[in-house]
Amino acid sequence: GKFHRKATPGGWRDDLTPEQAEIVERITAPLLEEFYPTRGGEGEPSLPVREYALSKVTRGLRTFLNLKVGLTRDVELAELREIKNGAGTGGPRPENIVWIFGDGRTGSTWLMRMVEELEGQTLWREPMVGLLFGYLYYLWADEKRHKTKHFILGRYRASWLGSMRGFILQEAMTRFPDLKEDEYLVVKEPNGSIGAPLLMGALPESRMTLLVRDPRDVVASSMDAHRKGSWHYERRNLQESLAEERPKDFVERRAHKYLWYVGNSKLAYDTHQGPKVMVRYEDLRADTLGTMRRIYSSLGIEVDEAELSGAVEKHSWENVPEEEKGEGKFHRKATPGGWREDLTPEQAEIVERITAPLLKEFSYPYEGDSESLSERLASSWRWMRMLYGP
C-alpha cells in the first residue's frame, strides 16, 4: 500500500492471477515482444510472444509507417523553418474569430451549414483545441496540479494562456492563410466546449455563440446515434453499443458530458466581455430566420439579407430529403420535446438530476430543486474523473 512497494522484477507472478496476467499479455503483446522477448535463462519465448506474435503483415505495416514517419519529419522540419523565418502571411484577426460552443447533437452542424453559405465567412470544423486543453485542465488535473509550477497548465496562468493564444492563431494562419482582413473565421467547437473558458481567456476579443438544447433531447438523440446500425455507430466503426447493452450507464455518462460541456460554455459566456449571443435550438427551429438575424446582430457582424434568407431556406428541415430522415440517421426528427417519447421516466430523471442547473438556467420545463452550476460541476468532478481522469 506504499509508494515504494518491493522493487522486485517479475513480482507480478506473485501479485496477479493467471487470468489477470493473461489480460495484460493479450493487450500489451507487441510491447512484450519488443522489450521482453524471453522469459528466463533458457531463452524460451514468452507466452505472449508464442500466442500473439506480430504477423508478417503487421511487421511490414510497421516498417512502412516508420519510413513514412521519417519522410514526414523532413517535410515538417522544412515547414517549421518557413514558419520560424516568417514565411506566409494572412490568417484571422483575433476579433474576427467566432466560436460556436455547446455540445454535440444541439444543431451545431445545421447552424454551420447555414453560416457556410454566407459571404466573407470561413468555417474551421471542430479543431478540438478546446478538448486538447480542457480535458487536461478540468478532468485530468486537480487543484494541487493547478498550483504547481511543474504542470504545464499550472502556475503562471497568464503565461500559458499567452502560449495557447499563439498556438491557436498560428494554426489558424497555417490553415487559412488567404483569409482576408475583414473576413470571419467561424470555429465550430461543440465537442471541445469543455475548454471554452480557457479559449475565451486566451482570445478575449473574439466572439462567442453559445448554442444549447434541452439536455433530455440531446441524450435521446445521442442514444439513437449510438445504437447498432445507426449513422454514428457505422461511421465510428463501433464494436459494441453501450446505449443498447447498458442504457442506464449510457444516459448517466451522456448527461454528465452535457453538464461539463454546456456548463463550462455557460461559465465562459458569463465572463466574456466581447460580442456574444446565446441561442436555444428550440428557438432556432421555431423561427430560423429571425434567430439567425439576432445572432448576427448580437455579434456585430453585417450579413446580406438575401444571402441569409437563402441559406435558411436551403438548409431547412423541410428541404432535407425524406430518405435521409428518421431513426438511426443523422437527421432524426428535429422535434423539441421528443425526449418524452424516447426516454423512459427513469432515464429522464437521471438527466434531470445531473443537468438541473442548466435546465433552470435555460428555462426548460423542470419542477425539481437544483444546486448552483458551480456546485453541480464540483460534485460531478469526481464522477467524471473516474471515467476520464488519470
> How far apart are alpha carbons 137 and 130 in whole angstroms?
10
> How far apart are alpha carbons 66 and 239 in whole angstroms?
28
What are the CA-CA distances from residue 94 to residues 10, 134, 184, 203 (Å)? 55, 20, 9, 7
The whole-number average pLDDT for the span 255-283 is 98
pTM of the model: 0.85
Question: In this prediction, what percent of the chain has a pLDDT beyond 70?
Answer: 86
- For the cut 80, the answer to whether the pLDDT of residue 69 exceeds it is no
Question: In this prediction, what percent of the chain has a pLDDT beyond 90?
Answer: 78
pLDDT at residue 88, rounded to an integer: 45
pLDDT at residue 50, rounded to an integer: 41
pLDDT at residue 53, rounded to an integer: 41
The whole-number average pLDDT for the span 50-54 is 41
pLDDT at residue 54, rounded to an integer: 44
pLDDT at residue 73, rounded to an integer: 56
- For the cut 70, the answer to whether the pLDDT of residue 284 exceeds it is yes
- For the cut 80, the answer to whether the pLDDT of residue 64 exceeds it is no
Residue type, 33: E
193 pLDDT band, cuts 50/70/90, is very high
- For the cut 80, the answer to whether the pLDDT of residue 190 exceeds it is yes
pLDDT at residue 317, rounded to an integer: 95
62: enclosing H helix or E strand: helix 56-84
β 97-101/276-280 pair status: unpaired
- For the cut 70, the answer to whether the pLDDT of residue 130 exceeds it is yes
> How far apart are alpha carbons 1 and 180 in whole angstroms?
60
- For the cut 50, the answer to whether the pLDDT of residue 295 exceeds it is yes
pLDDT at residue 87, rounded to an integer: 44
388 pLDDT band, cuts 50/70/90, is confident
**Helix 305-314 / helix 108-116 crossing angle, nearest 10 deg:** 130
- For the cut 50, the answer to whether the pLDDT of residue 97 exceeds it is yes
Is the CB of residue 243 less than 8 Å from the CB of residue 223? Answer: yes
pLDDT, tens digit (0-9, with 9 covering 90-100), for 210-231: 999 999 999 999 999 999 999 9
pLDDT at residue 48, rounded to an integer: 41
pLDDT, tens digit (0-9, with 9 covering 90-100), for 328-380: 999 999 999 999 999 999 999 999 999 999 999 999 999 999 999 999 999 99
Residues in the chain: 390
Instruction: Cell numbers for 295, please give them.
Output: 445572432
- Averaged confidence pLDDT in the chain: 89
72 pLDDT band, cuts 50/70/90, is low
The whole-number average pLDDT for the span 46-72 is 48
Residue type, 1: G
